[in-house]
Amino acid sequence: MSSAAASTTDYQALSAQTLPARLGALAPLTDRLGPDSARWSVKEIGDGNLNLVFIVTSDRGALIVKQALPYVRLVGESWPLPLKRAFFEFHALTRQARRAPGTVPEVYHFDEAQALLVMEFFSPHVILRHSLMAGETHDGLATTLGLFCARTLFRGSDLCMDAPARKADVALFSGNVELCDITETLIFTDPYFDAPRNHHTKGLDAAVERLRADSALKIEVQHLKAKFCNHGETMLHGDLHTGSVMVSGNEAKVIDPEFALYGPMAFDIGMLLANFWMAYFAQSGHEDARGARDQYRQWILTVIEDIWGTFHAEFTRLWHEERTGILYERSLFEAQGQGEAASRALTQKLYEIWRDMLGFAGVEIIRRTLSLAHIAENDLIEDEAMRAHCEAQGLELARRLIVERSAFGDMKAVNDLARSIARKS
Ligand code: SR1
Ligand code: MG
């Protein structure tokens, strides 16, 4: 599997009607669903921004068929997007499965020409974003997500990987140009000028004007963009928000790594925590009475603390136990009786990740409020004034996270700031 050259020549988009006949002879499907494809039932979920996603079930089992469309589904055919993103998703999933076992869907079949993946279906799991809107708690969520970040980020880097293998992966994922461009444009640039695809809630006009006049903020965001573009440290998921996590009870799974790229360590975890802070502020728009979700708000903040805590602890463990790559080699430290210096280097690395993570979190909050793709937690608040109120709180936290990212000592300080912003009426 080495091409990423999916062209549209043979490609045909599936539909719920055509899927059984077109895929009905494939062993990865018939093994799980039974040989008579006429008895399969197919439903297109259609809730993503980019792709076709089908749930295919029979009396024997169920699986997911995900197929890239040659354009951005959210916008339509006026925004073409190459099919090769399925190739990058396939390669990212196989690597994540090795680095963080049990966290991502198993891939049963990949067809590059048709840009489709047949994958494990998680049931009765729901998208975490919806669960956060419904006020559901999930024990173990922070542990799974913190471990996932630490393991994929550490094990995909020169801290751990064999150098030729990492260089080959850097080359492979460098082909994911168009999806990187979406991130570079929609996240790091569009919100800061009057870009055609932007939209925002009416009550935010003054905040938007202030943001675009804020040159200190824009400079910091460009420093972060430079880091995103130029620091190919590790294989990132690339789009790790709460819509890319599925939950059921105490189980959590990570899906949809089609934006995978080699980028900075802190990006995934920054994007992930940003989505929890936004869910925190959005609770006012979903609670039955003011304060009814106070306990739930506290749970969200605890999850944020625990994700970071788990990430920190696991990254530390991996540093001591799996540092087999070409960086901070043992021959330079432990082998010379300088294990303490290796620990000091780790502290410095974790501080760099912490600081960048806060910045990337701020950038994600701003783009989810002012750029093309917003979040359901805010979009589904019907009362426009309330929606603007929740979003403005996010924007306030975001600016502080970006511009003052060197000033926060720990997650308690960040969460205290979020609490104080939420308390202002
Ligand atoms: C045009 S795609 C918009 C957003 O949807 C994806 O999930 C990514 O987050 C992207 O930025
Ligand atoms: Mg996605």
Q: Cα of 66 to ligand 2 centre, how many Å? A: 11
Residues in CB range of 344: below 8 A, 6 or more apart: none
Question: Which numbered atom of ligand 1 lies nearest the CA of 50?
Answer: 2
The pocket around ligand 1, CB under 6 angstroms, is made up of 49-50, 72, 74, 182, 186, 239, 372-373
Which amino acid residue places its CA nearest to atom 3 of ligand 1? 373
Q: What would the two tokens of residue 318 be? A: 């991996």
CA distance 126 to 134: 11
CA distance 400 to 106: 39
The residue ranges of the chain whose pLDDT is under 70 are 1-8, 425
Which amino acid residue places its CA nearest to atom 6 of ligand 1? 49
Which amino acid residue places its CA nearest to atom 5 of ligand 1? 49
Q: What would the two tokens of residue 137 be? A: 């708690």
Residue 408: what pLDDT?
98
Task: Give whole-number Cα distances, 321 to 233, 308, 318, in Å.
Answer: 19, 20, 5
CA distance 46 to 134: 21
Q: Cα of 361 to ligand 2 centre, how many Å? A: 17
Its sign, for the CA torsion 276, 280, 283, 289, is positive
Q: Cα of 92 to ligand 2 centre, how many Å? A: 13
From the list 389, 395, 322, the residue with the least C-alpha distance to 363 is 395
CA distance 84 to 140: 34
Please name which ligand lies nearest the alpha carbon of 184. Answer: 1
Cis omega (within 30 of 0) for bond into 124:
yes
CA distance 320 to 315: 9
Q: Cα of 244 to ligand 2 centre, how many Å? A: 6
Please name which ligand lies nearest the alpha carbon of 255. Answer: 2
CA distance 380 to 376: 6
Question: Which numbered atom of ligand 1 lies nearest the CA of 74?
Answer: 1
Helix (H) or strand (E) holding 5: none
* Half-sphere CA count of 391, side-chain side, radius 13 A: 30
Q: Cα of 36 to ligand 1 centre, how many Å? A: 37
Residue 2: what pLDDT?
47
Residues in CB range of 306: below 8 A, 6 or more apart: 142, 143, 146
Residue 156: what pLDDT?
98
CA distance 122 to 137: 18
Among 51, 199, 239, which residue has the most ligand 1 atoms within 8 Å of its CB, making it the best to mutate?
A: 239
